[in-house]
Amino acid sequence: MRTQNNGSAMGIAYAAYYSRLNIKNFDDAINDSQLTPCLQKILDDLKKTSASPGNMITNFTNDPWNSTRFNWTVKSGRIKGVQSTTVQTLASYNLATGVITTFDSDAWPNATDLSWARTMLHESIHAYLVVYYNVNESSWKATYPEMLKDW
């Protein structure tokens, strides 16, 4: 016979399982086909840890159910018109293509794997903020610091 505590424990286990599944599905769905092999390996290694982009977003939002339901494309490329930058996350969101983040590894050839992993996690939060504000506050235009302050 099931006690109320057993039911509660099962509910918690169910929620934890599906929370982890949502995070894994988000991490697996990151479109990294346009990343250089070196950056792809760093992202793949990061996805295997408890500090994956999906986990980072979930910890930032405290919402494992909705916060990881967007498309994120990460690619390697030159960032035009900006000096001394590593990455650019476009501030627009398209339901079909999602958020696009460009990593300019040529500009920083001596960067360590750890610094790239940190940058990827940082940009995952930028990507989430882009989606959140484009979907929930579509008329609100702001910089990333303003978005974070408002958040």
Q: Residue 64 and residue 1: Cα distance in Å, rounded?
A: 31
**Mean pLDDT value across residues 29-54:** 95
Residue 12 has pLDDT above 80, yes or no: no
Evaluate whether 42 touches 71 at the Cβ level (below 8 Å).
no
Q: Is the pTM of this model over 0.95?
A: no
Residue in 138, 95, 116 with CA at minimum distance from that of residue 42: 116
The pLDDT score that the predictor gives to residue 106 is 85
Q: Tell which wins on pLDDT, 5 or 24.
A: 24
Confidence check: pLDDT of 56 > 90: yes
Distance of alpha carbon 20 from the chain centroid: 15
What percentage of residues in the chain have a pLDDT greater than 90? 37
Q: Average pLDDT in the 92-113 region?
A: 84
pLDDT at 95 exceeding the cut of 80: no
